Chains A and B, each alone.
Chain A
Amino acid sequence: MTEPIVKYTDVHKYFGDLEVLKGIDLEVMPGEKLSLIGPSGSGKTTIIRMLMTLEQPTSGVIEVEGEPLWHKEVNGQLVPADEKHLHKVRGKIGMVFQHFNLFPHMTILKNCTSAPVNVLGISKEEAKERAVEMLEKVGLADKMDNYPAQLSGGQQQRVAIARALVMQPKVMLFDEATSALDPETVGEVLEIIRDIAKEGKMAMILVTHEMEFARDVSDRIVFLEDGVLTEQGPPEEVLGNPKSERLKSFLERFIQTSTSN
């Protein structure tokens, strides 16, 4: 049996007095495509932000390829990780943000080559080669000398995807990657993500409100409510035959809002 690439064990997260995650146990297999769905405020985003080291879990352990992320083993004991350890493990993870977060002072090409050169230490030529390949994949190689502000939201998000891909992560996180987009550009971004998912090698965790899309790309869908994973399974099962009342009403609300659009 293969080992999970990401494993959450009894992970809790508090923001002040508010318990956002109440004991998360979750495993993601290499190459698996997992979608996290649930009402806003349920903690979906926090789950992936902890994996990207943007939030620190209050308790519990997150492992990446069997290695604790926020902890370090010293003499058989788990102690809080230092920046050096985080830096090492974090390199396996990539993330696409809701608001793209492209670097406005760099051209599109530079956005995609700066991290490979500075972080991975590869040559400028190789970085450019990789970047151009990824920009072609997202259909924006012709924009590489432009600045982010000269692109539409959808185009910026496609660049952000290319930028993350150039780093060749083993796990890619998508944090509501289409929520900040104009409706007419949502499709082009979903299309790209779908293509990447089909290639298969990389594990993907998607936080999304696009149910049809989640059904299409995911191997497994997890429903999260009030900081607890309440239901999970293959897309047909979770979306087609929800067991709990809460998931049922969540999905119904969803269908209503998407048909009224």
Chain B
Amino acid sequence: MRDIINLWDWDTLFDAFPSIFAAMWLTIGLTFACYAFALVFGIVWTVLRRIPIRPIYWLVTFIMNFIRTTPPLVQLILIYVGLPDVGIILGSITAAILGLGIHFSTYISEIYRSGIESVSKGQWEAATALNYTKFQKWTKIILPQAIPPVIPMLGNYLIIMFKEVPLASAIGVSGMLLMANIYGAKHLEYIEPLTIVAFFFLLMSYPSSLLIKRLEKKMNRRFEKKVGSSDNGKEVTAS
């Protein structure tokens, strides 16, 4: 019993709180920066994969799979300590944005792809028949139908990204985790500062996930209402 009581000390908690709270903003900011990068870079993958030249498709798909199937931590360290060998020296925050951003962009690209593929061939054909230009087809017809249904999935990745950002502490980004570690090392008290970190993550992730669930329900309803009956099940009219 004594040990457990010693393990937890409220004074330590309050002592550790300010530095971790201050670092929270960096963690949040970094999450959004990585996410924005991933959203944009995801477009690049998606566009590259749509170039109708087979070898390009294979190459891009291979690179994407490579990025996706290797640990983001390895990629981060590679970018941070590996790239200087070829003369590219990046600050830890830039390296984190690049590393996590590229890693997640491969997933985001898959989401874009699924959204685009969910738009039926008939929509493309109708757009052609009405003589839209290629650019107009994308902006007026395809993307407005492809994006809304995948917004909840994109939101999920924001939360996943948020939880992966502490990996950046490995390359010296002083987010919440690194600050907690530093505090722990200095005072030999790890439980309290790490609990604070976990609590902050919970505080932000959980409401966000609820929000996304609501969004998902809303999108599903909206999509059912609007698409639904247009071209299913009518081919077979029994005689």
Within the complex, which residue of A100, A115, A150 is in contact with B131, where a contact is CB–CB below 8 Å? A115
Give min CB distance, B159 to chain A, whole Å. Answer: 27
**5 closest Cβ contacts across the A-B interface?**
A101-B126, A115-B130, A99-B231, A101-B122, A95-B129
Within the complex, which residue of A87, A94, A147, A179 is in contact with B133, where a contact is CB–CB below 8 Å? A87
Is A54 touching B227 in the complex (CB atoms < 8 A)? no
Q: Which residues of A contact B230 (CB under 8 A)?
A: 99-100, 102, 104, 148-149, 156
* Given A97-B125, A103-B141, A156-B230, CB of A118 within 8 Å of CB of B132: yes
Instruction: Please encode chain B, from 215 to 239, with 1 for each CB lying within 8 Å of some chain A CB and 0 for all others.
Output: 0000000000111111100110101
Is A118 touching B140 in the complex (CB atoms < 8 A)? yes
Instruction: Please encode chain A, from 157 to 200, with 1 for each CB lying within 8 Å of some chain B CB and 0 for all others.
Output: 00000011001000000000001111100000000000000000
Q: Which residues of B contact A99 (CB under 8 A)?
A: 122, 230-231
Is B145 touching A167 in the complex (CB atoms < 8 A)? no
* Given A100-B230, A103-B123, A261-B239, CB of A52 within 8 Å of CB of B129: yes
Is A149 touching B227 in the complex (CB atoms < 8 A)? yes
Is B231 touching A115 in the complex (CB atoms < 8 A)? no
* Given A156-B230, A180-B231, CB of A101 within 8 Å of CB of B125: yes
**How far apart sit A164 and B148, CA to CA, in the bound complex (Å)?**
27
Least CB separation from A180: chain B residue: B234
Q: Which residues of A contact B134 (CB under 8 A)?
A: 83
Q: Which residues of B contact A53 (CB under 8 A)?
A: 128
Within the complex, which residue of B122, B132, B145, B228 is in contact with A115, where a contact is CB–CB below 8 Å? B132
Q: Which residues of B contact A180 (CB under 8 A)?
A: 231, 234-235
Q: Which residues of A contact B136 (CB under 8 A)?
A: 118-119
Q: Which one of A90, A99, A119 has the greatest number of beta carbons of chain B within 10 Å?
A: A99
- The contact sample of 29 A-B pairs, CB cut-off 8 A, is A52-B125, A52-B129, A87-B133, A94-B130, A97-B129, A101-B125, A101-B231, A102-B230, A103-B145, A104-B226, A105-B144, A115-B130, A115-B131, A118-B132, A119-B131, A119-B133, A147-B226, A149-B226, A149-B228, A153-B234, A156-B230, A163-B130, A164-B129, A164-B130, A180-B231, A181-B234, A257-B239, A260-B239, A261-B239
Interface residues on B, range: 20 to 34
Within the complex, which residue of A87, A94, A149, A257 is in contact with B129, where a contact is CB–CB below 8 Å? A94
Interface residues on A, range: 35 or more
| Chain A interfacial positions (CB closer than 8 Å to B) | 52-54, 83, 87, 90-91, 93-95, 97, 99-105, 114-115, 118-119, 147-150, 153, 156, 163-164, 167, 179-183, 257, 260-261
Is B234 touching A182 in the complex (CB atoms < 8 A)? yes
Q: Which residues of B contact A101 (CB under 8 A)?
A: 120, 122-123, 125-126, 231
* Main SS at interface, chain B: helix
Is A148 touching B226 in the complex (CB atoms < 8 A)? yes
Least CB separation from B232: chain A residue: A99
Is A167 touching B226 in the complex (CB atoms < 8 A)? no
Is B128 touching A97 in the complex (CB atoms < 8 A)? no
Give min CB distance, A198 to chain B, whole Å. Answer: 23
Is B130 touching A149 in the complex (CB atoms < 8 A)? no
Least CB separation from B237: chain A residue: A183
Give min CB distance, B121 to chain A, whole Å. Answer: 9
**How far apart sit A186 and B239, CA to CA, in the bound complex (Å)?**
14
Give min CB distance, B146 to chain A, whole Å. Answer: 10
**How far apart sit A147 and B225, CA to CA, in the bound complex (Å)?**
9
Instruction: Please encode chain B, from 102 to 123, with 1 for each CB lying within 8 Å of some chain A CB and 0 for all others.
Output: 0000000000000000001011
